[in-house]
């Protein structure tokens, strides 16, 4: 099995470059923000960070394909880098420090492309998380100054902490009642938002999280980090990996109950 460690080191180089670009424009008074056709915001920093990552990839990994939130797919082949230049743009443009660059490498295999490397870098929080398939998940300031991640061992919903991004989307999918029932069942709920709940699941500080509507670039890096930390990452349909257009992540012990509530089976 490939060890992916060279790709992981390169993903850190990409994250370093993106961090420098996004941090430089964070809270800038002249930051330009536009509205995309789907009515979500995009800033000049989103575009600049993705362009920067693409240039690095084109030079160092010219055979690999690229899928980015802002500029779509480029190239073909069995390896594809998946980029969200700023996950949490709404936070970014309002000066809220909960945003990150998400970088994943996906490789073709049985069942389609699967993430094998993931880096989530949140410079305004001073945090970074990463994983490579078969090598575990870590957090720290660098590859040599890192702590291994491990999901929690909480096995009862009454003792569990459940994180999410917002209430939006659950009602449109007819899942709001199950979502609220789950919230009543667990020990604690918090809407940390975006990438952060998944990283907390990987760290063991949160036990389960879910979102009703996502894109591949929102999930690919998170998925490999959660699973390499010993957790479970699926769609709300139970399909493993980041391909369902939504996500449910947990320490594994509570995953069936998480899906049960969100699919109205309880």
Q: What is the pLDDT of residues 208-229, one digit of tens each?
A: 999 999 999 999 999 999 999 9
The predicted pLDDT at position 39 comes to 56
Model pLDDT for residues 74-127, shown as the tens digit of each residue = 999 899 999 999 999 888 888 899 999 999 999 998 778 999 999 999 999 999
Q: How many CA atoms lie within 13 A of 237 on its CB side?
A: 9
Please say if the pLDDT value at position 155 is more than 90.
yes
In angstroms, the CA 113 to CA 180 distance is 33
The predicted pLDDT at position 3 comes to 82
In angstroms, the CA 100 to CA 154 distance is 27
DSSP per residue, 102-170: EEEEEEEETTEEEEEEEEEEETTTTEEEEEETTS-EEEEEETTEEEE--------GGG-EEE-S-STTT
The predicted pLDDT at position 26 comes to 85
Summarize the confidence of residues 167-174 as an average pLDDT. Answer: 89
What radius of gyration, in Å, describes the C-alpha atoms of the chain?
A: 18
The candidate with the shortest Cα–Cα distance to 257, out of 243, 238, 242, 241, is: 238
**Residue bearing tokens 């094998």:** 116
Tokens describing residue 255: 């995953």
Summarize the confidence of residues 182-190 as an average pLDDT. Answer: 97
Tokens describing residue 190: 């918090």
Summarize the confidence of residues 166-186 as an average pLDDT. Answer: 93
Percent of the chain scored above 90 by pLDDT?
75
Which pTM does this prediction carry?
A: 0.94
């Amino acid at each position: 099995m490939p060890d992916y460690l060279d790709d992981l080191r390169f993903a850190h180089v990409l994250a370093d470059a993106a961090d420098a670009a996004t941090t430089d424009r964070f809270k800038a008074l002249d930051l330009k923000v536009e509205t995309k056709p789907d009515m979500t915001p995009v800033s000049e920093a989103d575009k600049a960070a993705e362009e920067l990552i693409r240039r690095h990839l084109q030079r160092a990994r010219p055979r690999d394909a690229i899928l980015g939130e802002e500029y779509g797919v480029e190239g073909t082949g069995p390896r594809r880098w998946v980029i969200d230049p700023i996950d949490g743009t709404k936070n970014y443009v309002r000066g809220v420090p909960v945003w990150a660059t998400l970088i994943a490498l996906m490789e073709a295999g049985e069942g389609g492309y699967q993430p094998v490397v993931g880096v989530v870098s949140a410079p305004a929080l001073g945090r970074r998380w990463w994983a490579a398939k078969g090598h575990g998940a870590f957090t720290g300031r660098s590859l040599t100054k890192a702590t291994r991640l491990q999901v929690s061992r909480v096995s009862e919903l009454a003792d569990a902490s459940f994180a999410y991004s917002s209430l939006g989307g659950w009602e449109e999918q007819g899942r709001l009642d199950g979502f609220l029932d789950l919230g009543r069942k667990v020990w604690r709920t918090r809407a940390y938002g975006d990438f952060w709940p998944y990283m907390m699941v990987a760290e063991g500080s949160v036990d389960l999280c879910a979102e009703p509507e996502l894109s591949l670039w929102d999930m690919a890096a998170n998925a490999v980090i959660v699973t390499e930390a010993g957790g479970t990452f699926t769609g709300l349909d139970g399909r493993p990996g980041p391909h369902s257009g939504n996500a449910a992540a947990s320490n594994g012990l509570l995953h069936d109950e998480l899906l049960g509530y969100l699919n109205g089976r309880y």
